[in-house]
Amino acid sequence: MKSLSRTDIRLQTSLIIEKNGEYLVGISGMFPRWSNSPYDAWRTRKRDNAHKVAWAVKGNILLFNPIVGQLRLLK
Domains of the chain, residue spans: 13-73
Could you tell me what percent of the chain has a pLDDT over 70? 92
With a CB cutoff of 8 Å and minimum separation 6, the contacts of 45 are 13, 14, 15
Rounded to two decimals, what is the model's pTM? 0.87
| pLDDT tens profile 34-68 | 999 999 999 999 999 999 999 999 999 999 999 99
Q: Is 66 exposed, middle or buried (0-12, 13-18, 19+ CB in 10 A)?
A: middle
